[in-house]
């Protein structure tokens, strides 16, 4: 039987005659940080102080112990090396590697001694490749397109430039005899109601003449098949298999598959994975609105409620299974049902996809290409295909994986960013996205759809980012336009859009110790990586709010409110146009360090107000006021599988609390549909002092704005800066684990910044608008000494400009 022994201890990191203890899996930066050689690059201006690390060579060393006899072959297996390295044993070359996204295996039968992995500088390798293949344009100046390494390690408009190296995934020794399972490709389908697992197997042999047998077990059923040469197929049918569904549509039953390779009666190797039975498709049919882009799971057409995922740490070896699960649990709790793994990052670890399987989170997987023209010459071309083949097969068992995507923004970049002229006919990646990658997916994983890029209209017959065709990235808003412009288009699928805000106050205090915080203080500017990021924040803010000069706390609160408002404007508009628009993927869920960015969860894992707003926006049921050609309507979005019935209450009010008009309507919305109620003209608010409130209550209403089964929508017809809000008056009471606020006036966008109570404290909700007489109870975790004065100091809300 194959035996595996981890090689995760006893490593040293060597550089210029110095040696430091090394952690494997890990990387150079984390080892130097642990040794006290470098400052924390996440704190202050530390990123600049460690820039030299990425331009040096580094060597990892340890003893490779003698292997006990009893097996015919011994292999040294690296699951991930970042990125360009030579592996030697006693000074003799075992091999060279040049791809972070692949695993590597070396025959070390009968060998022992000093094992060394020498990493060359990624910069040096990238420049050497550029010299060979020629220059290629990119959205950023760093040379990330010349090697198969996580692109965002070279910096992004939300990320630091921390180009590391290291043994970033596990390493082990495997001993085996006769044969081992080299590749298992599971094709999981549902055929006429029967779950089918077809395992296509390749083996590596030491003895050609040995007769081999495959045995597969799934859900108490088994099947056997004889191997032919080095390949074989075994198929198991599960007639009573339950379907795997995305969250909100059904359960997530998972079935363990066990495949054993036998020689006679002796087991040689075992492969185990969990699978789920489901069908998945992508409807890109043309229609009266253009070309659709709708995910279909088990025959059910979905509006995808998505978020974009970047590596959760710029040093991904630090992201544990527990951290993956926590972050993805946060996503699921916010109503998210789709995670897009963005193309400037990595193929994530099994822990990530396992958690998505269990949580019912659909995964859209980009191949790692982003925002650059990628050469198609060697040595890159062969690496791309090998990497794709390995990772497609590795991730195939996961039912959560529903879409392969060729790249991020490169087809768009070729058309709109001046690349075509600069390239002068040189290759730039089209052959990957429209050739190599769809061919690999069709050959190895025909159970899943493939799309060439995001954005992509489906063919060169339309502009790559045409909102009427395929996927669309909405970045004119934020870069140049106000978020109200989201309402001007109804894209078929919005794969990227978003708005910036700073991280939580406690995150800033940790990352910028001792700094007097200001929007333009040195640390704040360093932790703002977007081009003219603060300028765009300021322009976006002043369109809606009057910002007191020099008041950082108020600026911090209002920028976070504005982020939530911007994303809400887009999602409410697009969800109200289902099924023409079939999904939104917010840029972005998470951060890889403390930074002002588009994230809903900051680099220290704290939830911004946007996160809690997503819980409302991505709930199964949503109320939103929208303008149509016929006038103002209330759109009732019901994405649940059950009809929605209740009493709709409309009230036209003044900011002082006076009710000018009211109406009640019985609401009845079918499952998975959007219904619209025309707002009577006499209830439409007029002027800066009026607003409209809609409530739907499925049970008798109490004075608590958050009680019962109610949903609320509010519409103010003018920007906040023009609204004469009354001075907010409210009472605050505290109890262990909660803060209760009772409003005596209109209190708009009330926010408890729990991290101001204690760095580890967390509130269970974000922005809340209260009418006079209403109250809200906010749950608070991690606050050991409740105090009403402290709670009041941590509460922020809208006020009239003074």
Beta bridge partners of 706: none
Q: Which residues have C-beta within 8 Å of that of residue 603, sequence separation ≥ 6?
A: 42, 503, 507, 511, 591, 592, 593, 594, 595
Tally the C-alpha atoms within 13 A of residue 90's C-alpha that lie toward its C-beta.
6
Q: Please provide residue 477's backbone torsions phi and psi, each rounded to the nearest 5 degrees.
A: -70, 140
The set of catalytic residues is 409
CB–CB of 374/145 below 8 Å?
A: yes
Residue 154's closest CA among 135, 141, 169, 167?
141
- For the CA atoms of 459, 465, 466, 470, the dihedral, rounded to the nearest 10 degrees, stands at 60
| Displacement of CA 368 from its chain's centroid (Å) | 14
CB–CB of 160/189 below 8 Å?
A: no
Asked if the peptide bond before residue 579 counts as cis, ω within 30 degrees of 0, the response is yes
The structure tokens listed for 537 are 């924040």
The structure tokens listed for 270 are 């075992």
The continuous run of DSSP H or E covering 351 comes out as helix 350-359
Residue 465's closest CA among 431, 441, 491, 490?
491
DSSP label at 374? P
Helix/strand/coil percentages in the chain, nearest 5: 25, 35, 45
CB–CB of 412/374 below 8 Å?
A: no
Q: How far apart are CA 503 and CA 560, in angstroms?
A: 8
Which residue blocks in 368-489 are alpha helix, DSSP H? Answer: 380-395, 410-416, 419-423, 430-431, 437-444, 476-479
Q: Which residues have C-beta within 8 Å of that of residue 451, sequence separation ≥ 6?
A: 282, 293, 403, 404, 405, 406, 470, 471
DSSP label at 734? E
Q: Which residues have C-beta within 8 Å of that of residue 481, sequence separation ≥ 6?
A: none
Instruction: Give just the sign of the alpha carbon dihedral 756, 761, 767, 770.
Output: negative
Q: How far apart are CA 757 and CA 391, in angstroms?
A: 45
CB–CB of 795/732 below 8 Å?
A: yes
Residue carrying the six token digits 């109570």 = 757
Q: Is 73 helix (H, G, I), strand (E, B) or coil?
A: strand
Q: Which residues have C-beta within 8 Å of that of residue 642, sequence separation ≥ 6?
A: 671
For 584-638, what is the HEC assignment? EEECCCCCCCCCCECCCECCCCCECHHHHHHHHHCCCEEEEEEEECCEEEEEEEE
Residue 363's closest CA among 283, 325, 420, 307?
307
Beta bridge partners of 84: 98
Q: CA end-to-end span of the chain, whole Å?
A: 77
CB count in 10 Å sphere of residue 1: 13
Q: How far apart are CA 339 and CA 677, in angstroms?
A: 32
DSSP label at 242? P
Write down how long the chain is: 802
CB–CB of 778/752 below 8 Å?
A: yes
Q: Is 414 helix (H, G, I), strand (E, B) or coil?
A: helix
The continuous run of DSSP H or E covering 174 comes out as strand 171-176
Residue 53's closest CA among 65, 41, 70, 64?
41
Cα 553 to Cα 533, 584, 597, 778: the distances in Å are 19, 31, 18, 21
């Amino acid at each position: 039987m194959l035996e595996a022994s981890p090689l995760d201890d006893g490593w040293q990191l060597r550089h210029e005659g110095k040696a430091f203890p090394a952690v494997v899996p890990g990387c150079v930066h984390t080892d130097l940080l642990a040794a006290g050689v470098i400052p924390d690059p996440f704190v202050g201006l530390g990123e600049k102080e460690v820039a030299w690390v990425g331009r040096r060579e580094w060597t990892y060393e340890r003893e490779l112990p003698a292997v006990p006899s009893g097996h015919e072959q011994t292999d040294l297996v690296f699951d991930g090396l970042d990125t360009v390295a030579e592996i030697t044993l006693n000074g003799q070359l075992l091999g060279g590697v040049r791809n972070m996204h692949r695993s590597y295996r070396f025959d070390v039968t009968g060998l022992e001694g000093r094992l060394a992995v020498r990493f060359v500088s990624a910069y040096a390798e990238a420049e050497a490749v550029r010299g060979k293949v020629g220059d290629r344009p990119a959205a950023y100046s760093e040379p990330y397109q010349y090697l198969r390494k996580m692109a965002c390690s070279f910096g992004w408009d939300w990320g630091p430039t921390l180009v590391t190296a290291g043994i970033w995934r596990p390493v082990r020794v495997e001993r085996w005899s006769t044969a081992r399972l080299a590749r298992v490709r599971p094709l999981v389908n549902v055929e006429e109601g029967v779950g089918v697992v077809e395992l296509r197997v390749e083996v590596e042999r030491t003895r050609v003449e040995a007769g081999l047998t495959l045995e597969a077990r799934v859900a108490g059923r088994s099947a056997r098949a004889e191997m032919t040469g080095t390949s074989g197929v075994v198929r198991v049918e599960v007639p009573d298999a339950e379907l795997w569904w995305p969250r909100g549509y059904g359960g997530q039953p998972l079935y363990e598959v066990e495949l054993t390779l036998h020689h006679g009666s002796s087991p040689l190797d075992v492969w185990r994975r969990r699978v789920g039975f489901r069908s998945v498709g992508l409807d890109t049919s043309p229609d009266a609105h253009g070309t659709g882009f709708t995910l279909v799971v088990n025959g059910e057409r979905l509006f995808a409620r998505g978020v974009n995922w970047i590596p959760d740490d710029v040093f991904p070896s630090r992201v544990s299974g527990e951290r993956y699960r926590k972050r993805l649990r946060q996503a699921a709790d916010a109503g998210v049902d789709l995670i897009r793994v963005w193309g400037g990052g990595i193929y994530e670890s099994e822990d990530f996809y396992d958690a998505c399987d269990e949580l019912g989170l659909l995964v859209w997987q980009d191949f790692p290409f982003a925002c650059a023209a990628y050469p198609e010459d060697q040595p890159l071309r062969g690496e791309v295909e090998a990497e794709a083949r390995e990772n497609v097969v590795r991730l195939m068992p996961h039912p959560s994986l529903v879409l392969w995507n060729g790249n991020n923004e490169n087809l768009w970049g070729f058309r709109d960013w001046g690349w075509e002229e600069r390239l002068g006919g040189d290759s730039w990646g089209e052959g990957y996205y429209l050739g190599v990658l769809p061919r690999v997916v069709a050959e190895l994983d025909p159970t899943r759809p493939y799309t060439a890029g995001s954005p992509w209209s489906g063919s060169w017959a339309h502009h790559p980012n045409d909102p009427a065709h395929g996927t669309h990235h909405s970045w004119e808003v934020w870069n140049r336009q106000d978020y109200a412009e989201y309402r001007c288009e109804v894209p078929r699928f919005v794969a990227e859009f978003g708005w910036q805000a700073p991280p939580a106050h406690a995150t800033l205090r940790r990352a910028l110790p001792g700094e007097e915080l200001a929007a333009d203080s040195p640390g704040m500017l360093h932790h703002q990586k977007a081009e003219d990021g603060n300028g765009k924040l300021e322009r976006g803010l002043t369109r809606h709010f009057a910002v007191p000069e020099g008041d950082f706390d108020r600026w911090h609160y209002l920028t976070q409110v504005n982020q939530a408002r911007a994303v809400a404007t887009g999602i409410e508009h697009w969800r109200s146009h289902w099924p023409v628009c079939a999904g939104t993927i917010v840029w972005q869920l998470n951060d890889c360090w403390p930074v002002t960015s588009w994230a809903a969860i900051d680099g220290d894992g704290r939830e911004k107000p946007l996160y809690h707003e997503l819980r409302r926006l991505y709930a199964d049921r949503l109320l939103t006021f929208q303008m149509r050609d016929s006038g103002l309507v209330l759109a009732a979005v019901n994405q649940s599988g059950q009809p929605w019935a209740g009493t709709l209450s409309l009230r036209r009010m003044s900011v002082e609390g006076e009710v000018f008009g009211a109406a009640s309507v019985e609401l009845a919305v079918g499952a998975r549909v959007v219904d619209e109620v025309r707002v009577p003209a006499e209830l439409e608010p007029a002027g800066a002092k009026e607003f409209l409130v809609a409530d739907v209550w499925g049970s008798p209403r109490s004075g608590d704005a958050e009680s019962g089964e109610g949903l609320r929508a509010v519409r103010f017809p003018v920007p906040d800066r023009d609204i004469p809000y009354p001075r907010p008056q409210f009472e605050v009471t505290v109890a262990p684990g909660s803060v209760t606020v009772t409003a005596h006036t209109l209190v708009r966008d009330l926010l408890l910044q729990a991290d101001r109570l204690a760095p580890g404290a967390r509130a269970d909700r974000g922005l809340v608008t209260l009418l006079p007489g209403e109250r809200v109870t906010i749950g608070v975790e991690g606050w050991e000494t409740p105090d009403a004065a402290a709670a009041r100091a941590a509460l922020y809300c809208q006020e009239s400009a003074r």
